[in-house]
Amino acid sequence: MSSTPGPTPVVGDLVTLQGHILAQQSHYPEATGTLSWILSALSISAKMIAAQVRRARLADVLGAVGTGNVQGEQQQKLDVIANEILLRTLGGREGVAIVASEENEEPVILRTEKEGERKYCVLFDPLDGSSNLDVCGAVGTIFSILRHDRRATRAEDSLLQPGSRQVAAGYILYGPSTVFTLSIGRGTDMFVLDPAIGAFVRVEQGLRIPATAKSYSVNEGNRLAFPAGYQAYLDHAQRNGYSSRYAGAMVADVHRILLKGGVFLYPPTSKAPQGKLRLMYEANPMAMLVEQAGGKALSAPGRRILDEQPTGIHQRTAVIIGSPGEVDQVIGHL
């Protein structure tokens, strides 16, 4: 008499994002739990934004709001919703001194720092790739966390730190599953939201990016406006059997490269000679994640993104990021 097989047992320990953060905190004897509390707020925000993205068409929150953001770009309705969610959840955390969003012209000062306290600054792009929403494409949230500098006379001055001083960085990808990728300076770890238990569960610890992979991600519609070296690289890649993968959202493209290898490019163009991506909200956090996974992240030959000294919170930069061997291939043509 045969019996119906039961469910396949789960191999290994089930570690949630919260459990992971607490375990990481134990490596730092001076830790007060403030950073963990902020990361908890970001995980709550991620669940709330994921729910909004899933119901976007049903709730009629697709399309533009009719106004532009500080970057001069058309704001989508969900850009505004995601921005408000993050401001609200982070605003409730005592450890957050300043928040800065790609969608807002000025940073928001939430709290001053008293002697002996440790507070943080959180910068974020609330909904990267939001133009993908109308076609059900992947979008994401990117965040960067810095220690607050109480000596700074202006809020902006406390934020203008090179990416090498980030204490944590990450992104949340809203796709077929909701993925939370995080680095607290001890490698890059990945979590997936399990809707059955309402928690992010760790699926990768100490993620390592493949050293090489014949794949590149770039908006080739701008190719004729790229400097000659980038065009030479694309000629080389296409002669040598590379695949082109471009999702139209940095989060989705870098996520693929972290797992599969390759290189993501956003070169300068004649219209954007400094590059288009934001150093503080996009390039720095992604550079930290990729470097912590064994990859490289440069803005130009010999210029590491994380060493760039920002001069403004909305500063733009070129980006070459991904597998070390593939970044070197690009640099070799510039």
CATH number for 271: 3.40.190.80
Do residues 135 and 247 both lie within one domain? no
Residue 148 lies in a domain: yes
Query: Do 162 and 264 belong to one domain?
Result: no
Residues 35 and 180 in one domain: yes
> In this predicted structure, what is the pLDDT of residue 65?
62
Number of domains, the chain: 2
Distance (Å, rounded) from C-alpha 237 to C-alpha 231? Answer: 10
Residue 239 to residue 128: CA distance in whole angstroms: 32
User: Do 109 and 173 belong to one domain?
Assistant: yes
Last residue of a domain, one of 204, 228, 263: 204
Which residues of the chain are under the pLDDT cut of 50? Answer: 1-11, 116
* Domain co-membership, 195 together with 245: no
Domain membership of residue 75 (yes or no) is yes
Within-domain flag for 318? yes
Position 26, amino acid: S
**Best CA proximity match to 166, nearest among 151, 146, 185:** 146
Residue 47 lies in a domain: yes
Find the domain containing 255 and state its range. 215-332
In angstroms, the Cα distances linking 170 to 26, 100, 179, 218, 242 are 20, 15, 10, 21, 28
What's the pLDDT at 23? 87
CB 317 within 8 Å of CB 274: yes
| Last-in-domain residue among 183, 204, 225 | 204
Same domain? For 97 and 183 the reply is yes
DSSP output for 251-304 = HHHHHHHHHH--EEEE---SS-TT-SEEIIIIIHHHHHHHHHTT-EEEEETTEE
Identify the three-state secondary structure at position 45: helix
> The domain spanning residue 165 has which CATH number?
3.30.540.10
pTM over 0.85? The answer is yes
| pLDDT of amino acid 94 | 87
Which residues are CB-contacts of 232 (< 8 A; sequence separation ≥ 6)?
A: 333
**Measured between alpha carbons, how far is 183 from 95 in angstroms, rounded to an integer?**
19
pLDDT, position 255:
98
- Provide the pLDDT for residue 8: 43
Structural contact between residues 190 and 204, judged by C-beta atoms closer than 8 angstroms: yes
**What's residue 133's pLDDT?**
83
**7, part of any domain:** no
Res 141: pLDDT: 98
